[in-house]
Amino acid sequence: MRRFRAPVVSVFLIAALTAVPVLAPVWGQASAADTIFIGQFLTLDAAHPQAEAIAVSGGRIVAIGSASEVENLANNATRTVKFFGVAIPGFADAHIHVAGVGEKLETLDLSGLTKAEILAKVSDAARSAEPGKWIFGGGWDEGFWQPTAFPTAKELDAVSGDHPVVLTRIDEHSTWVNSRVLALAKISRDTPDPDGGLIRRGAEREPTGMLVDHAQELIRSIMPKSTHADRERHIRAALQQFTRWGLTSVHDAGVGLDTIAIYKDLLKRGELPVRVYVMVTGDNARAQYLASGPEPDLGNGMLAVRSFKLFLDGALGSRGAELSAPYSDAPQEHGLQLLKDAEFAQIVQDARKKGFQVNVHAIGDRAVARALDTFEHGGVTPAERFRVEHASMVADDDVRRFVHLGLIASIQPVFVGEYSRWAEDRVGSSRIHWVLRTRDLLNAGVLLAAGTDYPASDSGVPIANLNCLVTRQSAAGKPEVGWYPEQRVSVDQALRMMTAGPAFAAFQEKDLGALTVGRYADFTVISENPYNVPINNLRSLAVRMTVVGGKVTFEAAGK
């Protein structure tokens, strides 16, 4: 048992102190514990890997050790919470779209469905909706269909009546619409492809009904606008969902001022149940933050705004990811450039001057190389912790450059599910080993933070992501042998990528990512010790309790 007053000291000092037994009873001078949690703790702290109890004061851990000793420290006002199961440092998601998760709960969920099933769902929705009402859905993936061709407006027209229908692909980088939407948006054979976008076309240049990357903006102005109230409802619903999934911290990968205002409001009301690390996106929001500066901690580590999200390319499934050589299944395509080098370099320098982190979306090998080039030529240092979001396809030489430049790869292990369905078609067998090469990145010493990109992926559930890292199976357990199983990592490595990794990627490693005295009391209680379960059973782990800053944000019914 090690006890300390709650000093805010560096992790290095804590590590040094915890390496030797400290018996001095300094507890008496410390502020009294609000809460004592008793159960089994795996701390992910090398100096003190297991514990039976922790004491919490003001949201932070003030003592950690055996149950009898920590229990002795309770006074009359102290609440004691006993739990069954195993507590690990709280799960973080380094890349998720919070409002999108809430919105998905209100639209047609097309994940994992065949085309016939999707058309039947749209047909049902069209029959029950008021005349002319828009129908939205998302999560479709042609990888589940036979054949795996991109869909068309005509197929939707047959079931949609007079309703405009907008169905986003699983990656959210392309949208399948019906002819009603094409007509309302005046998209015809004469409409040019916008910069960084593609209108898929058939015979005579006629649009087929699929809009890729920036071409999706052609329909934005005619769609019913989601209001501030809609967005707040979506965000609240998503945050509640996260607590059930065991998340204690999320990095919201690209939001504007409206969403930031909602977070600030929720924080002020004490209604933010999950820590949020914001990536600011959009010219307006960025300009405003460049003028006012970063907000690294808006309240006990609950909300931080200190990073910018940029997009260099699209997504691999939609063939928008920028490749250095053409797509294997479309030899005339090599993806889209959503941001040009010169503008990107300028934003990077503006951000650095004001102390903002830059988190850049780059999926294709060419986009990843462009990110590395721009950071390198711009003189970005490891201390700035710039991130490449996704880094889904990294050429051999670029793996070493990540290490050399001290850049963080913000990866989405759950992509294994969708990529196993079509990535090899897209890039061919000679480049497939560049794709989702988690183990290679880890072995080379690249700093890794894991997230899910949900709802732009199969699942936002941390246990599913853990399973993908360790088994290389999809959230649904496919393929059985794992997709390129040599890229699997151990349970321990996976847990660190989901806790310490995101903490470091958000400059929060002194406060989050492990259970030690001085850090916030953020932990997730799961049904079994993940180190002891056979890896094929990892998917069946259940979340029993979620705790953020010593407050229980979720507790499963029953015991």
Question: Which has the closest alpha carbon to 356: 311, 310, 389, 307?
Answer: 307
What DSSP designation does 144 have? G
Asked whether the beta carbons of 389 and 364 are under 8 A apart, the reply is no
Stretch that binds Zn ion, among 10-18, 246-254, 298-306, 517-525 (CB under 5 A): 246-254
Asked whether the beta carbons of 419 and 312 are under 8 A apart, the reply is no
> Angle at Cα 14 formed by Cα 75 and Cα 40, nearest 5°?
55
Smallest distance from Zn ion to CB 547, Å: 27
Stretch that binds Zn ion, among 119-127, 163-171, 216-224, 249-257 (CB under 5 A): 249-257
Asked whether the beta carbons of 520 and 512 are under 8 A apart, the reply is yes
In this structure, the chain runs to a length of: 559
Smallest distance from Zn ion to CB 174, Å: 14
Alpha-helical runs (H) found in 355-406: 365-377, 396-405
**Cβ proximity to Zn ion, 85 vs 460, nearer residue:** 460
Smallest distance from Zn ion to CB 316, Å: 13
Smallest distance from Zn ion to CB 46, Å: 32
Asked whether the beta carbons of 458 and 417 are under 8 A apart, the reply is yes
Smallest distance from Zn ion to CB 457, Å: 9
| Interacting positions 404-443 with Zn ion (CB under 5 A) | none
**Cβ proximity to Zn ion, 6 vs 310, nearer residue:** 310
**Cβ proximity to Zn ion, 199 vs 253, nearer residue:** 253
**Cβ proximity to Zn ion, 294 vs 460, nearer residue:** 460
Smallest distance from Zn ion to CB 111, Å: 16
**Cβ proximity to Zn ion, 177 vs 250, nearer residue:** 250
**Cβ proximity to Zn ion, 135 vs 279, nearer residue:** 279
Show the binding pattern over residues 442-461: x = contacts Zn ion (CB under 5 A), - = does not: -----------x--------
**Cβ proximity to Zn ion, 253 vs 466, nearer residue:** 253
How many CA atoms, within 13 angstroms, populate the side-chain half-sphere of residue 467?
26
**Cβ proximity to Zn ion, 42 vs 456, nearer residue:** 456
Asked whether the beta carbons of 367 and 322 are under 8 A apart, the reply is yes
Smallest distance from Zn ion to CB 143, Å: 19
CA separation for the pair 402, 388 (Å, rounded): 9
CA separation for the pair 472, 481 (Å, rounded): 8
Show the binding pattern over residues 250-269: x = contacts Zn ion (CB under 5 A), - = does not: ---x----------------
Q: How many residues bind Zn ion (CB under 5 A)?
A: 2
| Interacting positions 303-342 with Zn ion (CB under 5 A) | none
Q: Which residues of 299-317 are buried (b: 16+ CB within 10 A; e: fewer)?
A: eebbbbbbbbbbbbbbbbb
**Cβ proximity to Zn ion, 245 vs 554, nearer residue:** 245
Smallest distance from Zn ion to CB 361, Å: 7
CA separation for the pair 459, 4 (Å, rounded): 40
Pairing of strands 79-89, 91-96: unpaired
Name every residue whose Cβ is closer than 8 Å to that of residue 534 and which is 6 or more positions away in sequence. Answer: none
Smallest distance from Zn ion to CB 386, Å: 17
Q: 198: left (phi > 0), else alpha (psi -120 to 50), else beta?
A: beta
**Cβ proximity to Zn ion, 155 vs 453, nearer residue:** 453
Stretch that binds Zn ion, among 248-256, 312-320, 333-341, 375-383 (CB under 5 A): 248-256
**Cβ proximity to Zn ion, 55 vs 315, nearer residue:** 315
Name every residue whose Cβ is closer than 8 Å to that of residue 302 and which is 6 or more positions away in sequence. Answer: 267, 272, 275, 276, 549
Asked whether the beta carbons of 219 and 244 are under 8 A apart, the reply is no
Q: DSSP 3-state assignment of 283?
A: helix
What is the residue-wise DSSP string for 32-60? PPSEEEEEEEE---TTS-EEEEEEEETTE
Smallest distance from Zn ion to CB 96, Å: 8
CA separation for the pair 94, 357 (Å, rounded): 14
Stretch that binds Zn ion, among 174-182, 247-255, 259-267, 535-543 (CB under 5 A): 247-255
Smallest distance from Zn ion to CB 453, Å: 4
Smallest distance from Zn ion to CB 86, Å: 30
Q: Where are the beta strands (DSSP E) in 296-384?
A: 303-311, 357-362
**Cβ proximity to Zn ion, 247 vs 253, nearer residue:** 253
Smallest distance from Zn ion to CB 554, Å: 24
| Interacting positions 49-68 with Zn ion (CB under 5 A) | none
Question: To 10 degrees, the CA torsion angle through 444, 446, 448, 453?
Answer: -100
Asked whether the beta carbons of 546 and 552 are under 8 A apart, the reply is yes
**Cβ proximity to Zn ion, 140 vs 145, nearer residue:** 140
Interface positions with Zn ion (CB under 5 A): 253, 453
